[in-house]
């Protein structure tokens, strides 16, 4: 086997790939120019999922589904950046899980804006200071993120996509001796997701210092040699904080669902999810009566969460996810019923490219 000949073959293939990418980018740019004329959005997550689904279905070689998705998400991001990059606001500093999600969808070269609070992201979008926002909505261990629900009710941004991410926490420290660690920095949610590890290594009695994000925890632990951080692997690497234990969460199937927010209505995907906030009649059977409408219209409810209304006397609003698209006739019949309903968005179901 001649190594140089193999490398020459790779170079030839790379030249062909680059030529095809250039051709693809020219077509994408023409599509973008057309969308600007008619007022359409550049980011179309339902179209991206459709492309990835088609490629996965037609693959016949050794490239995995995950590799196909990773490669094409970068191609999509690079294509969007042919136009003037649109700002993406996300929660937390660089290295946070939300930052990872943002980069996975918008690429490494987008115009990113890091913010310390969930409501700040909604405000930035409301003021048109960013085109997209990325926020967490729920975790399969800790449940729903209440502040995100409150902001969905308070502001006008629409959900245009959801991303479900595996979340792994690492234990990182400048100190390689657990006995010498006097403080643990972590976001409270991350800390609570790792209590079995902390108990096993007799770390529960050590001072816990809450941070706004796991990335901030890594930053603080880097400046405190008698401390450790519960943080993401990428945050530890970014801040060059040595990792003592790589995966310490109680639930190794730990996942967080994130929302991508913007100001436009998605086109229909192959398989759609719709999210709403609903205020039902404040009397016995009010919620049951409302939910019966979904049964009558044969709509599959996938989530329902209650949330107390702010500045009210124990009134409750319900967050619901269900299968279907905003323009479906049966969905319209539910939304036009005599209830106080706010449509939050219709978007492609994550991980189901149909």
Q: What is the full per-residue pLDDT of the chain (354 aa) written as tens digits? A: 688 888 889 999 999 999 999 888 888 878 766 665 655 666 777 888 888 888 988 888 888 888 888 888 888 878 777 665 679 999 888 888 899 899 888 887 788 999 989 999 999 999 999 999 999 999 988 889 999 999 999 999 999 999 999 889 999 999 989 999 999 999 998 999 999 999 999 999 999 999 988 889 999 999 999 999 999 988 999 899 999 999 999 998 889 999 999 999 998 998 999 999 998 877 777 888 899 999 999 999 999 999 887 766 667 899 999 999 999 999 999 988 778 999 999 999 986 433
Question: Does 3.30.70.270 match the CATH number of domain 170-245?
Answer: no
**316-323 and 272-279 strand pairing:** antiparallel
Fold of the domain spanning 272-348: Alpha-Beta Plaits (3.30.70)
Angle between helices 118-126 and 146-154 (to 10 degrees): 20
Q: How far apart are CA 98 and CA 90, in angstroms?
A: 6
Give the residue among 246, 245, 238, 194 at the shortest CA–CA distance from 216: 238
Q: How far apart are CA 104 and CA 87, in angstroms?
A: 15
Q: How far apart are CA 260 and CA 162, in angstroms?
A: 6
- What is the pLDDT at residue 262? 95
pLDDT in tens, 127-163: 999 999 999 999 988 889 999 999 999 999 999 999 9
Q: For the chain, which residues make up each domain, given as ranges?
A: 170-245, 272-348
User: Same CATH topology for 170-245 and 272-348?
Assistant: no
Per-residue tokens: 34: 């057309």
pTM: 0.78
- What is the pLDDT at residue 165? 92
Contact in structure between 182 and 152 (CB atoms under 8 Å): no
């Amino acid at each position: 086997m001649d190594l140089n000949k193999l490398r020459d073959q790779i170079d030839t293939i790379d030249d062909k790939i680059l030529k095809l990418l250039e051709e693809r980018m020219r077509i994408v740019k023409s599509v973008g120019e057309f969308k600007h004329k008619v007022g359409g959005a550049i980011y179309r997550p339902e179209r991206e999922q459709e492309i990835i689904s088609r490629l996965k279905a037609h693959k016949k070689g050794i490239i995995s589904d995950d590799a196909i998705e990773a490669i094409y998400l970068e191609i999509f991001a690079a294509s969007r950046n042919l136009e003037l990059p649109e700002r993406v606001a996300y929660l937390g500093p660089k290295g946070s899980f939300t930052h990872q999600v943002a980069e996975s969808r918008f690429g490494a070269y987008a115009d990113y804006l890091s913010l310390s609070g969930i409501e700040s992201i909604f405000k930035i979008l409301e003021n048109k200071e960013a085109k997209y926002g990325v926020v967490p909505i729920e975790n399969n261990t800790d449940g729903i993120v209440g502040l995100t629900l409150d902001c969905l009710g308070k502001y006008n941004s629409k959900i245009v996509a959801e991303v479900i991410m595996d979340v792994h926490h690492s234990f990182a420290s400048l100190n390689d001796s657990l006995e010498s660690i006097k403080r643990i920095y972590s976001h409270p949610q991350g800390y609570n997701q790792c209590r079995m590890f902390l108990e096993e290594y007799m770390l529960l009695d050590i001072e816990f210092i809450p941070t706004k994000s796991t990335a901030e925890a890594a930053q603080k632990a880097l400046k405190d040699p008698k401390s450790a951080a519960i943080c993401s692997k990428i945050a530890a690497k970014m801040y060059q904080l040595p990792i003592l234990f790589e995966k310490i969460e109680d639930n190794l199937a730990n996942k967080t669902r994130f929302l991508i927010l913007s100001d436009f209505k998605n086109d229909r995907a192959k398989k759609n999810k719709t999210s709403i906030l609903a205020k039902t009649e404040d009397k016995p059977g009010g919620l049951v009566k409302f939910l019966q409408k979904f049964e009558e219209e044969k709509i599959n409810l996938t989530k329902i969460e209650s949330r107390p209304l702010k500045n009210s006397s124990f009134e409750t609003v319900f967050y619901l996810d269900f299968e279907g698209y905003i323009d479906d006739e049966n969905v319209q019949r539910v939304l036009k019923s005599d209830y106080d309903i706010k449509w939050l968005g219709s978007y492609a179901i994550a991980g189901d490219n149909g």
